[in-house]
Amino acid sequence: MIKRWWRIFLTTAAPEGFVRVYGAWVSYLAVTGALLFGLGALYGLFVAPADYLQGESYRIIYLHVPAASLALSCYLLLAVLGVIFLVWKIGAAYELARAVAPIGLVWAVISLVTGAIWGKPTWGAYWVWDARLTSMLILGFLYVGVLLLQGAFEDSGSRGKAAAILAIVGTINLPIIKYSVDWFNTLHQGSSLSVTGSSSIDSSMLWPLLSCIAGAYLLTMALGIYRACTFLLERHQNKRWVGRYLNQSEEV
């Protein structure tokens, strides 16, 4: 069973297999993600009740929470792809990392900006050197470092290795971001969502938030796969399978 799944993984990790298998899902992921995020955002902004403490300002969570979650998830994915690239020398892992890194940076920036906007009415200031905010800012700098290393060398193997190492080392910051509200004296509120236990957020606010999170993840997957497929097609443009794939796409 393990050998069978390993063969499947190697098949889909090859450039042609990756483009053919995962590229076919881009449109479905994009449409489903847009619907989920749109419906969740509309319900959260216009139907869900105001918070009894924060009033209307809490509604920014429908963008802030998905952005913060994806900023962490995208960076963790970069680290996993870095391990795959360094250990098994799979080129598709590097191209997917190239595709995901700027998306993760955008989510990190959105998280910081929306957090600052939310912080003004809640804390009285756009920015405080809070443990959660500071560690998220560091994550943004780590993304920038990965992006710079991905374009710093002429040889794709060298830049892939350097970027992968930084992505792996940078994962030490992820648990700090996640548990900073528990480990440090922080102004940032604790997590309202829980996978293992009950969530403290009311169901009328919870379901649109979960819809926004799911939609944002699907949209990110669609964009990441689309960009990775584009990079792989450009990199192997002289290969016969690229011509066959493009001809089949035009026929469809």
Q: Cβ(67)–Cβ(44) under 8 Å?
A: no
Q: Minimal CA–CA distance to 89: which of 193, 15, 39, 140?
A: 15
Backbone φ and ψ of 242, nearest 5°: -65, -45
Chain centre to alpha carbon of residue 85:
19
Residue 169, classed as helix, strand or coil, is helix
Strands (E), the chain: none
Task: For the chain, report the end-to-end CA distance as a whole number of angstroms.
Answer: 35
Can you list the residues of the chain whose pLDDT is less than 70? 154-157, 184-200, 250-252
> Coil, helix or strand for 1?
coil
The pair of three-digit structure tokens given for residue 54, joined into one six-digit string: 């924060």
Q: What is the pLDDT of residue 1?
A: 73
Bridge partners of 51, per DSSP, are 55
Lookup: tokens for 133 = 């905010």
Q: What is the pTM of this model?
A: 0.93
R_g of the chain computed on alpha carbons = 20
Query: What is the reported pLDDT for 138?
Result: 97
pLDDT of residue 179: 87
